[in-house]
Amino acid sequence: MTEHGGRETARCFFALWPGTATRRALAQMAARLPEVGRAVPMANYHLTLAFMGDVARQAEPELIAAASRVGVGADAVSGRLRLDRLDGFEHAGVLFAAPSYCPPWLSTLRARLVDRLADAGYSPEDAARPFRPHVTLRRRLSGGLPALSSEGLAAVSWQVGGFVLLESPLTSGQPGYRVVYRWEAS
């Protein structure tokens, strides 16, 4: 959190937040990656649904209200996600785990969330880009992406049961993400 023009702000985003077993399985997957860049701490693993950027703290209740209109029925915010491939974004300098196939419930959840945020006057910074679900495992790569192989990779099967609003530290010396609000499948 920081002050901008006398207003407290926080870097916020909506995400799927894995449980302990899924985090451990992702850490095993991360161990297969080349030791380049910086490893993401297991406690920070997440799958971003909508990145809001720097938001005034007093706007967080509005974000929570908008996201609450997505609906939390089991079919709206839950399903099985199979992370079965390793990949990366060269432009962002990250390596990640991703699904070969994005299940319809996940695409629908993301679209509903972006629509409800837009209805409330908020536009996620990533709303215009195609949704490419992934969990970042290594970041701050330099010199391009290393060769990656998903051959023989043990897929991570993640039973998702909701999503969260997270705050991210604005400086690298701060601890990990803070869950601001949690929506769980009913």
* Average pLDDT estimate for 65-70: 93
Least confident piece of the model among 17-21, 32-36, 58-62, 133-137: 32-36
pTM over the 0.85 mark: yes
Q: For residues 127 and 44, which has the higher predicted lDDT (pLDDT)?
A: 44
On the question of pLDDT at 22 being above 60, the answer is yes
* Average pLDDT estimate for 48-61: 92
Domain at 2-184, CATH class: alpha beta
Q: What pLDDT score was predicted for residue 74?
A: 57
Q: What pLDDT score was predicted for residue 16?
A: 97
Model confidence pLDDT, tens digit, residues 116-150: 999 999 998 888 889 999 999 998 877 766 667 67
- What is the dihedral sign for C-alpha 105, 106, 108, 113? positive
Confidence of residue 57 (pLDDT cuts 50, 70, 90): confident
User: Among candidates 12, 14, 42, 11, which has minimal Cα distance to 133?
Assistant: 14
Domain extent listing, the chain: 2-184
- Cβ neighbours around 66 below 10 Å, total: 19
Q: What pLDDT score was predicted for residue 146?
A: 67
Residue by residue, DSSP assigns 79-120 as: EEEEE-EEEEETTTTEEEEE-SS--HHHHHHHHHHHHHHHHT
